[in-house]
């Protein structure tokens, strides 16, 4: 009778826009209606999204009464095969995982019960918890923009463990990574890991063999930290990182691209360290991707010309002349002028 009288749209409106007390009372009423033949009516009325919002203890209006009743509705809905996938798609797993494992949350037990209804195996629950943890880490790092936050994210890549869902197979060993962080940081890896192809279904990545393991490790750490991890101290690794990041940066992107951030930071750091002792090494390593960093290549050329006597004493000058005779002739021409 209550449902037929039109109560559900009013309850949903109250769940969305009511006061804390109003939301709590609306959640309680909805939990009593959301059973048996009326469950479909509750779902069709649009009650699930605001209930999911009430489950997350980080959201405004989340109180013990509202949270407990919201979890109860989600548990019943997820237990119905018609709606379990819908509950997942609406983001209930993340909200429930946060509530289930947040210290002091008054509806943690109910959240765990609902989470088990959506994710029947412990592995699924652990993956949901890890995804939620990573999302919270990303939000925290972006909000605070502190070096320690980004270093913590970078440290999540390392020796392969149960918490990793992607493995990079390098020449000197394997490194475990987060599929979520890689996809969030790089449009290339978003397509590679979530593109629905045979490659994206695999958890093993065979990286570009043209680059060293050190360069790949540095890039993986940077992607985990959204491009804000400390740069490698070694010049040769920084130069490789520039070329590797340039390849990833070129992937079509409508959102953040950590590779572009890495490229910008590396270019600035190398430019600041240019001197007679390293300018020729910079030109040697960056020639293949000179179009991506023209300013840095020009700056290295200028340092070579300014310090020609010292540069001619360097042992790698012969390698440069053999590999890039035209560039060597151009430098000599500039010196002659």
CA–CA distance from 77 to each of 20, 24, 43, 112, 127 (Å)? 23, 19, 8, 15, 21
d(CA 232, CA 241): 9
Give the β-pairing of 173-177 and 166-170.
antiparallel
Is 214:237 a contact under the CB 8 Å cutoff?
yes
Q: What is the pLDDT of residues 263-320, one digit of tens each?
A: 999 999 999 999 989 988 898 889 888 899 999 999 998 898 888 878 778 887 777 7
Give 23-52 pLDDT, tens digit per residue. Answer: 889 999 999 988 888 899 889 999 999 998
Residue 37: DSSP 8-state: G
Q: Is residue 38 within 8 Å of residue 26, measured between CB atoms?
A: no
CA 118 to chain CA mean position, Å: 24
Decide if 46 contacts 16 (C-beta within 8 A).
no
Task: State the Cα–Cα distance between residues 194 and 198, nearest whole angstrom.
Answer: 10
CA angle 257, 263, 268 (to 5 degrees): 135
Q: For the chain, where are the E strands, in sequence order?
A: 166-170, 173-177, 204-205
**Which phi and psi (to 5°) does residue 167 adopt?**
-125, 125
User: Rg of the chain over CA atoms, in angstroms?
Assistant: 27
What is the chain's mean pLDDT, rounded? 82
Angle at 241 between CA 238 and CA 243, to 5 degrees: 120
pLDDT at 337 over 60: no
pLDDT at 155 over 60: yes
Phi, psi of 102 (to 5 degrees): -95, 125
SS3 129: helix
> Pseudo-torsion of CA 242, 245, 249, 255, nearest 10°?
-120
Q: In a 3-state reduction of DSSP, which class is residue 22?
A: helix
Q: What is the dihedral of CA 151, 153, 155, 158, to 10 degrees?
A: -150
The pLDDT tens digits of the residues spanning 170-192 come to 999 999 998 888 888 888 888 88
Q: pLDDT-derived band of residue 142, with 50, 70 and 90 as boundaries?
A: low
Burial of 63 (0-12, 13-18, 19+ CB in 10 A): middle
**Closest by alpha carbon to 46, among 73, 81, 19?**
73
């Amino acid at each position: 009778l209550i449902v037929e009288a039109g109560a559900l749209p009013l309850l949903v409106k109250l769940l969305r826009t009511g006061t804390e007390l109003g939301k709590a009372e609306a959640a309680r009423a909805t939990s009593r209606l959301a059973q048996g033949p009326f469950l479909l009516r509750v779902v069709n009325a649009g009650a699930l999204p605001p209930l999911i919002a009430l489950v997350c203890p980080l959201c405004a209006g989340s109180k013990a009464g509202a949270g407990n009743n919201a979890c109860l509705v989600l548990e019943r809905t997820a237990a119905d095969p018609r709606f379990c996938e819908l509950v997942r798609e609406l983001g209930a797993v993340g909200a429930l995982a946060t509530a289930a494992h947040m210290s002091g949350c008054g509806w943690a037990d109910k959240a765990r019960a609902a989470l088990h209804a959506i994710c029947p195996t412990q592995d699924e629950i652990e993956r949901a918890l890890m995804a939620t943890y990573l999302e919270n880490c990303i939000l925290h790092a972006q909000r605070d923009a502190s070096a320690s936050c980004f270093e913590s994210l970078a440290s999540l890549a390392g020796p392969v463990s149960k918490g990793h869902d992607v493995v990079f197979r390098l020449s000197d060993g394997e490194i475990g990574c987060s599929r979520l962080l890689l996809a969030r940081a790089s449009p290339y890896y978003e397509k590679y890991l979530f593109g629905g192809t045979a490659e994206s279904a695999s958890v093993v990545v065979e990286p570009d063999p043209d680059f060293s393991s050190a360069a790949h490790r540095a890039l993986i750490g940077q992607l985990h930290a959204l491009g804000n991890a400390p740069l490698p101290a070694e010049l040769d690794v920084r130069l490789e990182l520039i070329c590797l990041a340039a390849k990833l940066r070129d992937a079509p992107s409508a959102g953040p691209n950590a590779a572009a951030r890495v490229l910008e930071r590396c270019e600035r750091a190398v430019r600041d360290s240019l001197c007679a002792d390293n300018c020729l090494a910079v030109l040697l390593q960056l020639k293949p991707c000179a179009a991506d960093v023209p300013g840095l290549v020009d700056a290295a050329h200028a340092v070579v010309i300014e310090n020609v006597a010292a540069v001619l004493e360097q042992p790698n000058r012969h390698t440069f002349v053999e590999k890039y005779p035209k560039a060597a002739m151009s430098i000599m021409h500039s010196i002659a002028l």
